[in-house]
Structure 1
Amino acid sequence: MLPFLNGVDAPDELASTFGERSVLGGLSRIFSEIESPGVIRHLNPGAYIECGELNGERSSRVETLADVFRGAGSRRSQ
Protein backbone atom coordinates (compact mmCIF):
# COMPACT_ATOMS: atom_id res chain seq x y z
CA MET A 1 0.00 0.00 0.00
CA LEU A 2 1.17 3.50 -0.80
CA PRO A 3 -1.09 5.98 1.00
CA PHE A 4 -1.27 9.55 -0.28
CA LEU A 5 -3.23 11.10 2.58
CA ASN A 6 -2.99 14.31 4.55
CA GLY A 7 -1.01 13.87 7.74
CA VAL A 8 1.95 11.71 8.66
CA ASP A 9 0.34 8.86 10.60
CA ALA A 10 -1.22 6.81 7.80
CA PRO A 11 1.83 4.67 6.85
CA ASP A 12 2.54 3.71 10.47
CA GLU A 13 -1.12 2.99 11.19
CA LEU A 14 -1.37 0.78 8.09
CA ALA A 15 1.90 -0.96 8.97
CA SER A 16 0.63 -1.76 12.47
CA THR A 17 -2.37 -3.52 10.93
CA PHE A 18 -0.95 -5.08 7.75
CA GLY A 19 2.78 -5.28 8.53
CA GLU A 20 5.61 -2.99 7.50
CA ARG A 21 6.37 -5.13 4.45
CA SER A 22 2.92 -4.26 3.03
CA VAL A 23 3.30 -0.47 3.24
CA LEU A 24 5.41 2.21 1.58
CA GLY A 25 5.68 5.83 2.62
CA GLY A 26 5.10 8.56 0.09
CA LEU A 27 4.23 12.10 -0.78
CA SER A 28 3.03 13.80 -3.91
CA ARG A 29 2.94 17.26 -5.38
CA ILE A 30 0.15 17.24 -7.90
CA PHE A 31 -1.89 20.34 -8.70
CA SER A 32 -5.17 19.41 -10.32
CA GLU A 33 -8.88 20.04 -10.18
CA ILE A 34 -12.05 18.24 -11.13
CA GLU A 35 -13.14 19.92 -14.34
CA SER A 36 -16.28 17.83 -14.70
CA PRO A 37 -17.38 14.36 -13.59
CA GLY A 38 -14.66 11.92 -14.65
CA VAL A 39 -12.37 14.68 -16.00
CA ILE A 40 -9.30 15.80 -14.03
CA ARG A 41 -7.43 18.87 -15.27
CA HIS A 42 -3.74 19.05 -14.32
CA LEU A 43 -2.62 22.56 -13.47
CA ASN A 44 1.13 21.96 -13.64
CA PRO A 45 3.25 19.69 -15.81
CA GLY A 46 5.23 16.83 -14.33
CA ALA A 47 3.63 15.67 -11.12
CA TYR A 48 6.19 14.84 -8.45
CA ILE A 49 5.90 11.64 -6.45
CA GLU A 50 8.31 10.43 -3.81
CA CYS A 51 8.09 7.04 -2.14
CA GLY A 52 10.21 4.57 -0.26
CA GLU A 53 10.40 1.81 2.27
CA LEU A 54 9.42 2.83 5.80
CA ASN A 55 12.87 1.77 7.06
CA GLY A 56 14.63 3.99 4.48
CA GLU A 57 16.29 1.11 2.61
CA ARG A 58 16.31 0.83 -1.18
CA SER A 59 14.29 -2.04 -2.63
CA SER A 60 13.46 -3.57 -5.98
CA ARG A 61 9.74 -3.02 -5.42
CA VAL A 62 10.26 0.73 -4.98
CA GLU A 63 12.43 0.82 -8.11
CA THR A 64 9.72 -1.06 -10.04
CA LEU A 65 7.13 1.43 -8.82
CA ALA A 66 9.44 4.28 -9.86
CA ASP A 67 9.54 2.86 -13.38
CA VAL A 68 5.74 2.86 -13.47
CA PHE A 69 5.60 6.47 -12.29
CA ARG A 70 8.22 7.53 -14.85
CA GLY A 71 6.31 5.71 -17.60
CA ALA A 72 3.24 7.75 -16.67
CA GLY A 73 5.22 10.99 -16.99
CA SER A 74 5.76 11.68 -13.28
CA ARG A 75 9.00 12.87 -11.79
CA ARG A 76 10.08 10.79 -8.85
CA SER A 77 12.90 10.39 -6.37
CA GLN A 78 13.55 7.92 -3.59
Structure 2
Amino acid sequence: MVNIGSLVGAGGPNRGQASYATSKVAIASITTVMAMELADHDIRCNVIHPGAIDTPILAAFADESEDESSERTIDGVGLQIDT
Protein backbone atom coordinates (compact mmCIF):
# COMPACT_ATOMS: atom_id res chain seq x y z
CA MET A 1 0.00 0.00 0.00
CA VAL A 2 1.31 3.44 -0.89
CA ASN A 3 -0.30 6.62 0.41
CA ILE A 4 0.51 10.09 -0.87
CA GLY A 5 1.24 12.66 1.80
CA SER A 6 3.06 15.96 1.66
CA LEU A 7 6.17 17.58 3.04
CA VAL A 8 3.75 19.42 5.31
CA GLY A 9 2.96 16.06 6.89
CA ALA A 10 6.63 15.20 7.25
CA GLY A 11 8.16 18.53 8.14
CA GLY A 12 5.60 20.92 9.52
CA PRO A 13 2.90 23.33 8.42
CA ASN A 14 2.86 27.02 7.71
CA ARG A 15 0.35 29.63 8.72
CA GLY A 16 -2.98 29.21 6.94
CA GLN A 17 -2.60 25.46 6.46
CA ALA A 18 -4.59 24.11 9.41
CA SER A 19 -6.91 21.82 7.46
CA TYR A 20 -4.31 20.79 4.89
CA ALA A 21 -1.64 20.09 7.50
CA THR A 22 -4.05 18.11 9.66
CA SER A 23 -5.02 15.86 6.76
CA LYS A 24 -1.41 15.26 5.73
CA VAL A 25 -0.25 14.45 9.26
CA ALA A 26 -3.22 12.06 9.54
CA ILE A 27 -2.13 10.27 6.36
CA ALA A 28 1.38 9.83 7.72
CA SER A 29 0.10 8.59 11.06
CA ILE A 30 -2.46 6.13 9.71
CA THR A 31 0.13 4.74 7.30
CA THR A 32 2.48 4.06 10.22
CA VAL A 33 -0.24 2.36 12.24
CA MET A 34 -1.40 0.30 9.25
CA ALA A 35 2.17 -0.80 8.58
CA MET A 36 2.46 -2.10 12.14
CA GLU A 37 -0.94 -3.79 12.11
CA LEU A 38 -0.59 -5.40 8.68
CA ALA A 39 3.04 -6.52 8.97
CA ASP A 40 1.97 -9.95 10.23
CA HIS A 41 0.06 -10.41 6.95
CA ASP A 42 3.12 -9.48 4.84
CA ILE A 43 1.47 -6.23 3.73
CA ARG A 44 3.79 -3.24 3.53
CA CYS A 45 2.48 0.29 3.90
CA ASN A 46 4.42 3.38 2.88
CA VAL A 47 3.76 7.07 2.52
CA ILE A 48 5.38 9.28 -0.09
CA HIS A 49 5.90 12.94 0.78
CA PRO A 50 6.41 14.75 -2.54
CA GLY A 51 7.80 18.26 -2.52
CA ALA A 52 6.28 21.38 -4.00
CA ILE A 53 5.44 21.37 -7.68
CA ASP A 54 5.62 24.50 -9.78
CA THR A 55 1.93 25.07 -10.46
CA PRO A 56 -0.23 28.18 -10.78
CA ILE A 57 -1.33 27.70 -7.17
CA LEU A 58 2.27 27.82 -5.91
CA ALA A 59 3.00 30.81 -8.12
CA ALA A 60 -0.05 32.62 -6.70
CA PHE A 61 1.17 31.79 -3.20
CA ALA A 62 4.55 33.30 -4.05
CA ASP A 63 2.93 36.43 -5.47
CA GLU A 64 0.78 36.93 -2.38
CA SER A 65 3.41 36.21 0.24
CA GLU A 66 5.16 39.17 1.71
CA ASP A 67 6.23 37.78 5.05
CA GLU A 68 9.54 36.00 5.57
CA SER A 69 8.07 32.65 6.61
CA SER A 70 6.26 32.22 3.27
CA GLU A 71 9.34 33.20 1.30
CA ARG A 72 11.47 30.73 3.28
CA THR A 73 8.92 28.01 2.60
CA ILE A 74 9.10 28.53 -1.13
CA ASP A 75 12.89 28.91 -1.10
CA GLY A 76 13.20 25.88 1.16
CA VAL A 77 11.64 23.53 -1.37
CA GLY A 78 14.19 24.49 -3.98
CA LEU A 79 11.87 26.05 -6.52
CA GLN A 80 12.63 29.22 -8.36
CA ILE A 81 9.42 30.92 -9.33
CA ASP A 82 9.53 33.46 -12.11
CA THR A 83 7.11 36.26 -11.36
* TM-score above 0.5, yes or no: no
| Structure of larger gyration radius | 2
Identify the structure with the greater strand proportion: 1
Question: How does the TM-score come out when normalised to structure 2?
Answer: 0.26
Identify the structure with the greater helix proportion: 2
Q: Which has the higher contact order (CA 8 A, sep 6+)?
A: 2
